[in-house]
């Protein structure tokens, strides 16, 4: 299904870097509607412009992805570059009508090409906080920034969910307030401060080009699922864990945990997390498990018996913050914290888990500099992660 329609621009409602929101009149047999339409193109719009618009997601009544999108102007008098770049020849969204050339950090014309010719290029022990849900990004960033105000934090967005990073209001705001220092888009995702062809080079760009002290790698908004253990966007995180590990980084994995989601497969530890940890992630990761101090711990303990099978990963448990910490972070942020249609008051567990994981990452920086960086080019081992776990649990700062 691919639904297209021609609409007429009424006015520009909002304009920010990488994205515009337009009010567009769309005709139908039932009359006309005034619709909000997103454009990622760098061009000016005026009242009366005719646009070709993709309406597919709205017609399917989707949630996060339920927007109309501008394909282009119907009447364009001459060939126009609506997404200009400098040197790039690497195409993203290849062979689709929307394929575009980007300035990929690895390619021959890039000023950073020489870095990627080094066979032993590594993450040099940089901690990477990994999560499936984009909605947890602001809590993780704000918690890290509060404890590590001078750390350089870089967000790497894979292509398992949304492709244009401009769709994320969280990224836009976090950059504006200084929470994020830079962004990197990998694979077919596009629009970051740096572009890369693969998740591997994207992570390396975060460290070697943007000089990250901490990397956050979360999917963009708009993940997809099918109710199976094979068809969900988050399965890409197994590849992220592999890349971080083999490139000499420290993978911290935030499990997807909820006690507000009434679907059995997502209650407590989501079946997405269980699938990734038990079966698909073949390299070890530090899996952060929250301690709530109530009956929820019993649910997690029972589920942990399933996900700890094989002793492949290192599980690190920590106390979650009081709800007042989430309230304080949200008050100073500007946007509300919500995930899967629920705010943090209705379902605090996902956000408390993200805060706790970020706290562990922030507390690990000194240890990593003194210990892990001694062997920066080697894949991370389970023994290295176990040493870090012992350090963090012995020195855990109480929330």
Q: What is the pLDDT of residues 164-185, one digit of tens each?
A: 999 999 999 999 999 999 999 9
- Measured CA distances, 138 to 14, 150, 172, 261 (Å): 22, 17, 11, 20
69 and 127 in one domain? no
Q: Which residues of the chain have pLDDT under 70?
A: 63-65, 308-311, 372-378, 396-399
pLDDT of 398 reads 43
155 and 247 in one domain? yes
The answer to the question of residue 109 being in a domain is no
pLDDT of 399 reads 41
- State phi, psi for 10 to the nearest 5 degrees: -100, -50
Torsion over CA of 376, 381, 383 and 384, rounded to 10 degrees? 30
Say whether 79 sits in a helix, a strand or coil. Answer: coil
The answer to the question of residue 317 being in a domain is yes
Task: Using the 3D structure, point to which of 48, 73, 98 is the last residue of a domain.
Answer: 73
Task: Using the 3D structure, point to which of 12, 41, 73 is the last residue of a domain.
Answer: 73
CA distance linking residue 53 with residue 74, whole number of Å = 10
Please list, in sequence order, all residues whose beta carbon lies within 8 angstroms of the beta carbon of residue 282, skipping any fewer than 6 positions away. 238, 242, 312
DSSP 267: S
Task: Using the 3D structure, point to which of 23, 41, 73 is the last residue of a domain.
Answer: 73
The answer to the question of residue 254 being in a domain is yes
Residue span of the structural domain in which 376 resides: 115-394
Cβ distance 326 to 337 under 8 Å?
Answer: yes
pLDDT of 396 reads 64
Torsion over CA of 89, 93, 94 and 97, rounded to 10 degrees? -110
119 and 67 in one domain? no
The answer to the question of residue 150 being in a domain is yes
Beta strands in the chain (DSSP E): 4-16, 19-28, 31-39, 50-54, 68-73, 90-92, 100-102, 127-131, 153-157, 182-185, 194-195, 214-218, 250-253, 257-258, 268-269, 286-291, 314-319, 338-339, 342-343
304 and 169 in one domain? yes
The answer to the question of residue 26 being in a domain is yes
In DSSP terms, 70 is beta-bridged to 53
- The number of domains in the chain is 2
Closest CA to 153 of 211, 95, 88: 211
368 and 306 in one domain? yes
- State phi, psi for 216 to the nearest 5 degrees: -115, 125
Closest CA to 360 of 394, 396, 384: 396
125 and 63 in one domain? no
The answer to the question of residue 399 being in a domain is no
336 and 228 in one domain? yes
Q: Judging by DSSP bridges, how do beta strands 314-319 and 4-16 pair with one another? A: unpaired
- Measured CA distances, 350 to 224, 295, 309, 380, 397 (Å): 18, 16, 23, 27, 20
């Amino acid at each position: 299904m691919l639904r297209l329609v021609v609409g007429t621009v009424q006015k520009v409602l909002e304009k920010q870097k990488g994205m515009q929101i337009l009010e567009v009149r769309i005709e139908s047999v039932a009359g006309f509607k005034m619709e909000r339409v997103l454009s990622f193109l760098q061009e000016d719009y005026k009242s009366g412009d005719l646009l070709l618009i993709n309406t597919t997601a709205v017609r399917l009544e989707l949630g996060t992805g339920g927007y109309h999108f501008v394909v282009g102007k119907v009447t364009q008098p001459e060939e126009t570059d609506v997404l200009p770049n400098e040197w790039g020849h690497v195409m993203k969204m290849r062979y689709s009508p929307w394929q575009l050339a980007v300035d990929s950090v690895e390619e021959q014309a890039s000023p950073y090409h020489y870095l990627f010719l080094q066979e032993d290029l590594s993450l040099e022990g940089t901690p990477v906080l990994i999560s499936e849900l984009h909605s947890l990004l602001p809590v993780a960033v704000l918690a890290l920034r509060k404890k590590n105000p001078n750390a350089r934090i870089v967000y790497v967005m894979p292509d398992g969910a949304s492709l244009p990073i401009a769709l994320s209001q969280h990224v836009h705001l976090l950059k504006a307030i200084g929470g994020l220092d830079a962004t990197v888009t990998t694979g077919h995702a596009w629009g970051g401060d740096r572009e890369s062809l693969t998740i591997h080079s994207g992570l390396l760009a975060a460290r070697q080009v943007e000089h990250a002290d901490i990397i956050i790698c979360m999917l963009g908004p708009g993940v997809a699922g099918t109710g199976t253990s094979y068809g969900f966007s988050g399965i890409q995180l197994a590849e992220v864990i592999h890349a971080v590990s083999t490139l000499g980084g420290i993978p911290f994995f935030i499990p997807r945990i909820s006690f507000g989601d009434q679907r059995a497969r997502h209650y407590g530890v989501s079946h997405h997390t269980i699938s990734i940890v038990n079966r698909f992630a073949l390299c070890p990761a530090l899996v952060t498990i929250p301690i709530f101090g109530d009956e929820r711990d019993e649910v997690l303990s029972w589920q942990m018996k399933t996900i700890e099978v094989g002793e492949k990963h290192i599980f690190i448990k920590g106390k979650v913050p009081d709800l007042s910490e989430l309230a304080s972070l949200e008050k100073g942020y500007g946007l509300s914290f919500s995930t899967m249609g629920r705010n943090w008051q209705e379902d605090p567990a996902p956000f408390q888990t993200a805060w706790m994981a970020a706290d562990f990452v922030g507390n690990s920086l000194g240890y990593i500099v003194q210990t892990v960086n001694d062997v920066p080019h080697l894949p991370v081992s389970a023994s290295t992660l176990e040493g870090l776990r012992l350090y963090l649990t012995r020195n855990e700062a109480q929330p």
